[in-house]
Structure 1
């Protein structure tokens, strides 16, 4: 295969050194490989042997420990943007779905009448927390977009958002658990398909948010070194 050898070993090491969204990481590595191959071919046309040309191209490109941090920062920002977008769009949408479910649920009034006095304030607290999480996602999305050039440490912003998501999860789980107990089971939706579907969507959204936060923490955990 054309280009197999020094350049392939180099890009393999670069790929191993990076952490972050797979599709973007593979695109970045492929772009680096294409650039190295173009440089090597130019040097080969100038008279160097193929292996020597590849080594010269790699040396000109720079050691992995020097170029990987810039690549890793881009991956971290991409992971942060994805998590922020997920929060900004998904969390308020989930809140809206639940609000609509309560409005069309045939026995919603009966459920409310049979719940303890703290049920409604806690339910509203859950809604407010979800909206705040969505707002945090929107602000972070703006910071990592148009505001990226104005911040010196995007890594800190990304890690703070990810840690916030992980910190908010147990609070949400506790509050929703309390609502479940207060409603006498599963919010009164045990035999109500739309309510059951909304519950599954909420669980899937939480799982995706936690996974996205974990990817952000992984992508910003450390400065890559040569493999």
Structure 2
């Protein structure tokens, strides 16, 4: 026989999007709270079916819980995306500077580097806005999408800038230093792009809930 509490938890999990660990923890907390509520009612002499019914009524339907839960997970994913950008992009910029020490950056690389710097600044603002300030001010509705598209822009700019520098490095015998930067660029692109994609999905889920 199926367990209504587990079915409730499974339905809630299926309706939410966000960082895997955060979502699992959130669903587990709600499932445990619901199970405790059922146990309290049965301890008072209420039959289990009736206890489950009362507990579900107290907690609300899955559809009623989704908006607040999805908001929490969206904030978590937004912070995760901003954190990834704030960590990986500066590291790659340092690699670019090391590779190009003593030479003028190509104009195209300068533009792409500027995009990366703007992405880092936007990530820093996002972390502040969703951190301490989130306790006092509501999260701006468009912030998750801004963080997502900023991350996407950074994920595109990083490999393009590395390609530009790699081509230009042939003229300055800087190839030995280009390879580590290229490897870091590929890894950073994958991590940032995936996080930005997840952030966009969370933002869409939040808007739909």
TM class by shorter chain equals 0.7 to 0.9
1:72 aligns with one of 63, 70, 73: 70
- How big is the alpha-carbon RMSD for the aligned residues of Structure 1 and Structure 2? 2.6
1:162 aligns to 2:148 (yes or no): yes
1:199 aligns to 2:182 (yes or no): yes
The structure with more radius of gyration: 1
Structure 1 residue runs without a partner (length 5+): 104-108
**Residues 106-138 of structure 1: CA distance to partner in whole angstroms, max 9, x if unpaired?**
xxx6xx6xxxx9x63333333332222111111
| Aligned residue pair count | 208
The change in CA–CA distance for 1:19 and 1:208 in structure 2 (over 3 A counts) is same
Give the distance between the partners of 1:178 and 1:197, measured in 2 at CA: 15
The change in CA–CA distance for 1:182 and 1:98 in structure 2 (over 3 A counts) is closer
What is the CA distance between 1:51 and its match in structure 2? 2.2
Conserved in 1, the CA contact under 8 Å of 2:122 and 2:150? no
Higher helix share: 2
TM-score of the pair, normalised by structure 2: 0.86
Any residues of structure 2 matched to 1:17-96 within 5 Å, and which?
A: 17-96=15-94
Structure 2 residue runs without a partner (length 5+): none
Give the distance between the partners of 1:52 and 1:66, measured in 2 at CA: 21
Between 169-178 and 121-130, report the one with greater CA deviation. Answer: 169-178
